[in-house]
Structure 1
Amino acid sequence: MLNSEGVSPHQSLRSTTVRPIGVYQLAGLATDQTHLLAVDTIRGYFLAIDPTTNNTTILNPDNVEDWLDAVGLSIWQDTVWFAQGQTVFWCDRQTLQPTLFVDLPYPIDGVAVWESTVYITCQKSGYIHIYDRHTAKLRNKLPQPGVGIENLTVTQDALWVCDRTEQTVYCLDKDTGEIQLSALTPFVSPTAITLYAPTADAEPICYVAYADEEPYIRDDPNNADSPYQLTFRDRTFIHPLNIDHHPEQHYTRSNGYLVELSYAEELLPLDSVTINQVEWRIALPSDTLRQKVRHVEPIGHPFTIEEQAGQKVAVFKFDQLKPNQGGLIGWRAVVEMYSLKYQLTPAHVETSPPLSEAMQQKYLVDDDELKMDTETIIAAAKAAVGTETNVLRKMLRIRNYVYDRLSYGIQPKIDTPDVALERGVASCGEYVGVLLALARLNGIACRTIGRYKCPQHSELKNLPLEPEFNHVWLEFYVPGIGWLPMESNVDDVIDRGPYPERFFMGLAWYHTEIGKGISFEKMKAADKPEDVTLGDLAINHIRFRILDELLPQASEVAAD
């Protein structure tokens, strides 16, 4: 049966957020193939949720205290499994009275059961502990795939793990723990995972629960002087994770969004200046493995499109710009933007061919005040890598070395890498500069990419969203594989590590790739004074609008 828009109910579920009623923090998720089942760790509720209506039923109304602080949830036949603190419990589905299964010396984060096997995750131990369901004896341990608090579910074929810090879902081999794929989630703080198939012949939907706090403006009528106050409230919901896995190419795309992006320069000169024969160039969004430009059109003034190093650029031309002349120039683009995560190990690149001479000449040089000839940067490049030769291990060691020595902070201007490294505090652009310098000195071709990130409010469709800052990250090149993305500073979230690797060879849907490997914006004129910059002539306006959610399988995007 199809709805009025020609979409089956099952297909509609793949882009519909489930918002249970009266819940605070979901920390466990399962299914009985009729409902989604969940635990609210704050209230102690064991819940049945209809994903088509959001109707929510508390299944343990008489013993919610027994379930307070419950995390993890698994259903096996007529039993229910969950954890509290350092203990795993099971109970009969009819009585829901918890019975102790096993105690661990660490806080437990997740439980999953399949036939005679119980899987238990513990961030503090760093392992997934595997127990015999009948004897409660430890059989084996598998290393956790990420660094954060992890929840899991299990099927006949695989273990599925979601990591709260990594913002990632992993599919693991049940016996070896080998990662089969990893996919970035569209929201932060994933807390639980399950696979739901409403009918026997339906393809399962991977549902992920999220829980965090959101800021909001509270109206306080008792405070006449300041009636509006910024405060926080709990936010928890369930959303399908849609996965498009390409094992031969070692990457996975996940949930995407159709986004309208506008970039415009408002002519607002600081000084009275006349310039002639003006050519103003602004890079356009790129077509990449995770991003497809559907449409682009001018704002304020017509442009022509030129190609520069494989990238498209909007070119605006003026015979003359006069003092105090008003105007807008820019573009509006409609872009498909997906999350992308590569699953490559050092073994995959152990036999990579050497970097070509052309790549060395272009991407191993100091072409942007990287200070690669200074004692500070030369010493750091040696210390970061040591004797490592594998390109992936080298790049990861460089990233971790930089994260150990820098903390994020917005600076009044971009300093050179030697200054930023000695200061110990850096903006995203300064992180990129240090990473570029150390990588290039170690023979790794890399380049700057980025420009803006869409505000992460995918639920606010068709509303104007304006980013506070621009943003840059980088790409590094592996011969035989291609360009791989790496965030600048975003994963530097744990003092002295271990650092998450969500954006090491990965980008979330809200990253906008514009003008890869070329300057974002340039202006030249026949008589432009040397001391006049773009910032002296115009002020920019950036606006995003999220139009729709996209399934990654439904669209083909360009190869990188």
Structure 2
Amino acid sequence: MFTQNPSLSSAGTPLKLDRWRRSIRPIGVYMLYGLASRGDKLLSIDALRGYLVEIDPDTDNTTILNPNHLNAFVGATGLAATDERVWFTRDESVYTCTWDDLTPQELIALPYEANSVAVWGSTLYVSCQKSGYIHIYNGNNGTPITKLLAPGMGVESLTIRDEELWVTDIEEQTVYCMDRATGEIRFSVLTPFERPTGISFHAAADPDETLLYVVYSGEEAYIRDDPNSDPPQQLAWRDRTFIHPLHYHYNAKDHYAVSNGYLIEMSYVEELSPLDEVELENLDWRIALPSDTHRQKVRSVEAVGMPFTEEMQGDQRVAVFHFDRLQPHEGRIFGWKALIEVRSIKYHLTPRDTENAPPLPPEMQAVYLVDNDDLKMNSEIVQRSAKEAIGSETNILRQVLRIRNYVYDRLSYGIKPKIDPPDVVLVRGVGSCGEYVGVLLALCRLNGIACRTIGRYKCPPAGDRQNLPLQPDFNHVWLEFYIPGLGWVPMESNPDDIQENGPYPTRFFMGLAWYHVEIGKGISFEKLRVNHQLVDKDVISLGDLAINHVRFTILQELPPPND
């Protein structure tokens, strides 16, 4: 049976490939670690099988280059290559071999596990999570030269371009661009997928089309059809490994970098379903709309179910649905649908950048340093925690990071039926994302750091599942803190609290992934007004009146950012 080459049209002519958004899915591999470029092909190692593979980035065609040396490559976690030689890391050693003879020879032995290797001329760069450094060696004889402080907390992979050392971290889900001589971080970007395990620049036929590729390796849950079980549908896990371009743009003036993004459609709709008979007259049902930010652009918003008028609350957009009379047993659906461009963003600020920050303006103190959301800032436990969190630290950036780590040390994540105030949460030691935010707000504000809530939903992080309706399991909130003279920067509430007593990643400290949707900065997401007066949630609860329906559809990956 004849199978047409997918890279050819029906007429046999080459098809134009969108390499900038094409995921490469090598055939017959399980767990790829390390990435390198050689000619027009990519190289990687299947750490599970020991395959050193050559991959065609246009067709996914996969070739095993070391069929007689598999055992020597099993467990390898890093890869570098030139036209003459191959280097890889395994256990505590760096190995090398020639393309003519793929029998590995040990070149360097470290006291701890070696994670990745990059080559520049006769110099080798070797990452080692256990030591916390990137070690630099003479590649001819393996003698040490110097070492650089590793930028992240997880296992790191390396590649080099000119004077830049590029590092990706499996836990931080971040790629760092560093000066390869000094180790100074120039900027960093978030990866669009989790568990990055290799990184490399690759030039296509046109050198102007050079792309930065990242390989990802992990597992995914799926529903397996097992005819021997009743029911036959069973939850199972499978390996998931692929390669995808990483796009970025660094705005040095505003201290941030954006990376891969997607065009998504989001709808937020309320369905009237009151638990008790309620009759309300002259009702305004207010729902915040998505915001325009450095990383998010709202292309359009339209009404669903019934029309709304738009109002501005400060600088935030709000949809207002008006009911002359809301009657018992009335059936309605109403809400909005928005077309939004979203990208990942990561701010690059150091304590030195904030050392001479001016005082917080009085008008901001009046809004963002007060207890305006039951934060219990006068309670003894909250005030004591605010002092303990920062100690003697005076730099605002270090203060916020210390407050975050203090909260992570004392709280564990758990879903609760309602949001309790910070004093209760600190005693209990368990909190939802909203309760993490409440504690963070209280401790920051007591230390003179302006901050505000932001959220409200995250798109399911499935960038490769496009044009399918996706429903988030929960709502979500995080916060922004204000650095005088520089502006607002984001900080996640709880996702970086990944292990007891740290260390904690900083991927979402001054950063947000593409799947965060910013709605209603510093204002309530949803409120009721009757006769132009706000209705207290203890009098009428939104949850007792309606059921919300939230849907995301990822339409396409956005072109690489350029401004």
TM score, norm. by length of structure 2: 0.95
Deviation, 1:114, is 0.7
Match of 1:351 in 2: 356
One-letter amino acid of the structure 1 residue matched with residue 503 of structure 2: P
Aligned: 1:330 with 2:335: yes
Match of 1:534 in 2: 542
Instruction: Tell me the secondary structure at the aligned position of residue 207 of structure 2.
Output: coil
Aligned: 1:39 with 2:27: no
Match of 2:520 in 1: 515
Match of 1:441 in 2: 446
Q: Is the 8 A contact 1:253 1:552 kept in 2?
A: no
**RMSD value over aligned CA atoms?**
1.6
Deviation, 1:3, is 11
Deviation, 1:497, is 1.1
Instruction: Tell me the secondary structure at the aligned position of residue 324 of structure 1.
Output: coil
Distance 1:549 1:3, change over 3 A: farther
Q: 2:73 aligns with which of 67, 77, 83?
A: 67
Instruction: Tell me the secondary structure at the aligned position of residue 408 of structure 2.
Output: helix
Aligned: 1:550 with 2:555: no
Match of 2:490 in 1: 485
Q: 1:472 aligns with which of 472, 477, 489?
A: 477
User: Within 2, Cα distance between the matches of 1:10 and 1:301?
Assistant: 44
One-letter amino acid of the structure 2 residue matched with residue 381 of structure 1: A
Q: 1:81 aligns with which of 75, 79, 87?
A: 87
One-letter amino acid of the structure 2 residue matched with residue 96 of structure 1: L
- The Cα offsets for residues 475-527 of structure 1, whole Å up to 9 and x where unpaired, read as 00001110000000000012211110000000000001001111111112239
Aligned: 1:213 with 2:219: yes
Deviation, 1:273, is 1.8
Instruction: Tell me the secondary structure at the aligned position of residue 505 of structure 2.
Output: coil
- The Cα offsets for residues 67-97 of structure 1, whole Å up to 9 and x where unpaired, read as 1111111013400000110010000012111
- The Cα offsets for residues 437-462 of structure 1, whole Å up to 9 and x where unpaired, read as 00001110000000100001111111
Instruction: Tell me the secondary structure at the aligned position of residue 248 of structure 1.
Output: coil
Deviation, 1:272, is 1.5
- The Cα offsets for residues 418-477 of structure 1, whole Å up to 9 and x where unpaired, read as 110111111101100110000001110000000100001111111110011000000000
User: Within 2, Cα distance between the matches of 1:469 and 1:271?
Assistant: 25
User: Within 2, Cα distance between the matches of 1:292 and 1:499?
Assistant: 30
The aligned runs of 1:373-412 (5 Å cut-off) are 373-412=378-417
Instruction: Tell me the secondary structure at the aligned position of residue 455 of structure 1.
Output: coil
One-letter amino acid of the structure 2 residue matched with residue 320 of structure 1: R
- The Cα offsets for residues 24-69 of structure 1, whole Å up to 9 and x where unpaired, read as 0111100013101111100100011010111111111121112111
User: Within 1, Cα distance between the matches of 2:228 and 2:275?
Assistant: 46
User: Within 1, Cα distance between the matches of 2:432 and 2:16?
Assistant: 45
Match of 1:496 in 2: 501
Match of 1:139 in 2: 145
Q: Is the 8 A contact 1:338 1:552 kept in 2?
A: no
Q: Is the 8 A contact 2:163 2:181 kept in 1?
A: no
Aligned: 1:109 with 2:134: no
Deviates more, 1:471-480 or 1:130-139: 130-139
The number of aligned residues is 550
One-letter amino acid of the structure 1 residue matched with residue 326 of structure 2: L
Instruction: Tell me the secondary structure at the aligned position of residue 260 of structure 2.
Output: strand
User: Within 2, Cα distance between the matches of 1:251 and 1:495?
Assistant: 30
The aligned runs of 1:174-193 (5 Å cut-off) are 174-193=180-199
One-letter amino acid of the structure 1 residue matched with residue 440 of structure 2: L
User: Within 2, Cα distance between the matches of 1:211 and 1:399?
Assistant: 29
Q: Unpaired segments of 5 or more residues in structure 1?
A: none
Q: Is the 8 A contact 1:371 1:418 kept in 2?
A: yes
Q: Is the 8 A contact 2:17 2:58 kept in 1?
A: no
Distance 1:379 1:3, change over 3 A: farther
- The Cα offsets for residues 142-190 of structure 1, whole Å up to 9 and x where unpaired, read as 1100000101111222111100000000011011110011000000000
Q: Is the 8 A contact 2:376 2:423 kept in 1?
A: yes
One-letter amino acid of the structure 1 residue matched with residue 542 of structure 2: L
One-letter amino acid of the structure 2 residue matched with residue 512 of structure 1: V
Aligned: 1:260 with 2:268: no
Aligned: 1:524 with 2:529: yes
Deviation, 1:116, is 1.3
User: Within 2, Cα distance between the matches of 1:40 and 1:125?
Assistant: 25
Deviation, 1:532, is 2.2
Q: 1:363 aligns with which of 352, 368, 378?
A: 368
Could you list the structure 1 runs, at least 4 aligned residues long, displaced by more than 6 angstroms after superposition. 8-11, 527-530
The percent of aligned pairs where both chains have the same amino acid is: 58
Match of 1:273 in 2: 278
Match of 2:296 in 1: 291
Deviation, 1:270, is 1.4
Q: Unpaired segments of 5 or more residues in structure 2?
A: 1-6
Instruction: Tell me the secondary structure at the aligned position of residue 412 of structure 1.
Output: coil
Deviates more, 1:193-202 or 1:410-419: 193-202
Q: 1:249 aligns with which of 251, 254, 268?
A: 254
Q: 2:155 aligns with which of 149, 160, 167?
A: 149
Deviation, 1:203, is 4.1
User: Within 2, Cα distance between the matches of 1:76 and 1:61?
Assistant: 20
Q: Is the 8 A contact 2:38 2:83 kept in 1?
A: no
- The Cα offsets for residues 355-410 of structure 1, whole Å up to 9 and x where unpaired, read as 01011111001111111111101111111101111100000000011111111111
Deviation, 1:222, is 1.5
Deviation, 1:10, is 8.5
User: Within 2, Cα distance between the matches of 1:257 and 1:32?
Assistant: 30
Instruction: Tell me the secondary structure at the aligned position of residue 70 of structure 1.
Output: coil
Instruction: Tell me the secondary structure at the aligned position of residue 553 of structure 1.
Output: coil
One-letter amino acid of the structure 1 residue matched with residue 476 of structure 2: H
Deviation, 1:132, is 0.5
One-letter amino acid of the structure 1 residue matched with residue 541 of structure 2: T
User: Within 2, Cα distance between the matches of 1:84 and 1:36?
Assistant: 20
- The Cα offsets for residues 79-128 of structure 1, whole Å up to 9 and x where unpaired, read as 00001100100000121110110111111110111101100001011000
One-letter amino acid of the structure 1 residue matched with residue 29 of structure 2: V
Deviation, 1:531, is 2.4
- The Cα offsets for residues 531-560 of structure 1, whole Å up to 9 and x where unpaired, read as 222222111100000000013426x6xxxx
The aligned runs of 1:298-313 (5 Å cut-off) are 298-313=303-318
One-letter amino acid of the structure 1 residue matched with residue 314 of structure 2: A
One-letter amino acid of the structure 2 residue matched with residue 354 of structure 1: P
